[in-house]
Chains A and B, each alone.
Chain A
Amino acid sequence: MTDILEAHGLSKGFGGLTIISDVSVRIPAGDRRLVLGPNGAGKTTLLNLLAGELFPGAGHIVFEGRRIERLSSMRRARLGIGRTFQVLTLFEHNTVLDNVVLAALGHSPGRWNPFRAFHDLTSEQARAKSILDMVDLGRLANRRVSDCAYGEKRRLEIALVLAQRPKLLLLDEPFAGLSAAERRHMLAVITAIPPELSIVMVEHDMELALQFARHVTIMQSGRIVVEGQKEAVVADPKAREVYLGH
């Protein structure tokens, strides 16, 4: 299977503090990759480097055969890299539907049109509704985001990124702060994402996230310590050491 994304020798530091050091990772097309690691392991920094929020100090990133490490997050989004955020970044004063329409509009030339009324974007609205149904938010389409429950907002984060028609999805701790029932709901939503879409998920909840993963990368202190097929990684003593301390 061809790789949709390759990162080679990525390093990133802030001042004298090295956050990520010589990290290389390959994501095959259609992969379900789980990135695990304790706090401070560099997981979110790796995600930010891949999404273009940060530029690496060293190393390079190739997406679909094209070097992208110096492209902005906006340019990478247009190439097909979508991401969710650990801290919710939704448009709280708008309705759930308007949030997804705005996301769907991001790649359309129509976003510059000052004569096209936002509420008349019928094709974007139709697509937004179908995406909301995918994440089980269809019945809340006209509810203001600020009136939604936390779990619903987390699913809306997924809807926003799906509306971008991404090829690679970067999910930053999608289960964070959810109750047990909401976590199961979220897992069902993520599992239902079309298989042709590649997913890299950063998560703390190993037990739940492993149900989704095909490959697992475990990070510690800014380096990759174990990587491979889920079953192999789970059985690896190093993985047990990182997670269980023995």
Chain B
Amino acid sequence: MTRFALLLLVVVAGLGVFSPSDFYLSFASRICIYGLYAMSLALLLGEAGLMSFGHTAFFGIAAYGVGWLSTAGGLDPWVAAAAALAIASAIGFAFGAFAVRVTDTAFVMITLALGQVAWGLAYRWVSVTGGDNGLTGIARPSIGPADLTRPLTFLVFCGLVLFVSVLAIDRLRGSALGASIRGVRDQPRRMSALGYNVWAIRLATFVCSGFFASVAGILDCWQQRFVSPVSLSLLDATLVLLMVVIGGARSRFGPLVGTVVVMGFNEFADHFVSRTQAALGVVLILIVIFMPSGIAPWLQGRMSSRRSAGAPKLSEVGGAK
């Protein structure tokens, strides 16, 4: 995984050096941001088996939080970011405490409701959110001499945040807590009988997942220097879910692969097809049929079968007659 994270860093750095224009740097930053967003959702969906449509709430609350606190609130962007993370995580904890009492369809519906409530507030609470117009004039912070207003610097920053987040999520997945989370996903009844607090483990996953979605929301706000109700929309929630499903929810780097595919498709497919959304739908159907676990696990399977096909057969090794 460390190798993968390093590869990610190299790709981001390579993009920075060889990118023909700021457009590609900005696009790469968005991939880092949405990649992190998708990874946060995959933590909940793939590891804990909980499908959420409410992740937009964390993404959006953090984005609005940092936007409002650093403009109307007059706070330093870093302080605003820390406060926005704390607020989004606290909301995640309070909401999760109720939400994770249920699973399956009930959980989907309750998180959908959360997302819609947050979206409705963003539209209606005009004095704070700016309503339809959103919040504008949000400044990007700086780190010492590094000026994050430059697209390349911001891309490197997003890449570093993604790199650290990938390592942190991987650490969590490989930990005792990560094993407990998967145990609760697969056999909640058994886990309870073993003395595990199933509710608390689901809640911890929900809050962790919401935390990383919030980090992505803050980066998105800084990248666009603007936040609007669109970042809380059901369409955005569906798009991120699509990234996770297409890439592979249970795969380590599947969500990132899904992000590249979906965002790349949305950005460049209109050069080749006239109805990109319909084409994306067809791609999704094909992937679900032919790669039900997602692109990344499918690729891994192909690579490992190729490796084993190239490996010497038992008869060639042991001198079997």
Contact = CB atoms under 8 A, between A and B. Distances in A.
Interface in B62-104: none
Interface string A89-105: 11111000010011101
A74 B197 contact: yes
B196 A119 contact: no
Contact of B180 (A53, A82, A105, A115): A105
Given A92-B186, A102-B183, A111 B176 contact: yes
Interface string A140-163: 000000000000000000001000
A90 B195 contact: no
A105 B189 CA distance: 16
Contacts of A77: 192-195
* Main DSSP-derived SS at the A contact region: mixed
B177 A74 contact: no
A78 B194 CA distance: 8
B178 to A, nearest CB: 7
* Main DSSP-derived SS at the B contact region: helix
A164 B193 CA distance: 10
Nearest to A170: B193
A114 B186 CA distance: 19
A106 interface: yes
Contact of B179 (A53, A83, A118): A118
Interface stretch (B24-32, B107-115, B167-175, B302-310): B167-175
B187 interface: yes
B222 to A, nearest CB: 27
Contact of B190 (A85, A113, A114, A121): A85
A51 interface: yes
Contacts of B172: 114
A105 B176 CA distance: 8
A102 B175 contact: no
Residue of A51, A77, A90, A98 with most chain B CB atoms under a 10 A cut-off: A77
Contact of B195 (A107, A113, A116, A119): A107
Interface residues of B, number: 24
Size bracket of the A interface: 35 or more
A160 B198 CA distance: 17
A106 B195 contact: yes
5 contacts: A90-B190, A102-B179, A117-B174, A117-B175, A118-B179
A216 to B, nearest CB: 25
Contacts of B191: 106
A117 B187 CA distance: 21
A110 interface: yes
Contacts of B174: 117-119
Interface of A: 51, 53, 72-74, 77-78, 82-83, 85, 89-93, 98, 101-103, 105-107, 110-119, 121, 160, 164
B198 A74 contact: yes
Contacts of B204: 112
B194 A113 contact: no
A100 to B, nearest CB: 11
A112 B177 contact: yes
Interface string B268-303: 000000000000000000000000000000000000
A88 to B, nearest CB: 9
Given A114-B171, A116-B175, A121-B176, A102 B186 contact: no
Given A89-B190, A117-B176, 9 more contacts: A72-B192, A74-B192, A74-B195, A78-B195, A91-B182, A102-B183, A106-B195, A112-B176, A119-B174
Residue of A51, A110, A111, A121 with most chain B CB atoms under a 10 A cut-off: A111
A178 to B, nearest CB: 20
Given A93-B186, A111-B180, A103 B194 contact: yes
- The list of the 8 closest CB pairs from A to B, nearest first, reads A106-B194, A77-B195, A106-B195, A89-B190, A118-B179, A114-B177, A114-B175, A78-B195
A117 B180 CA distance: 12
Interface string B130-141: 000000000000
B179 A98 contact: yes
Nearest to B197: A74
A97 B195 CA distance: 18
Residue of A83, A110, A114 with most chain B CB atoms under a 10 A cut-off: A114
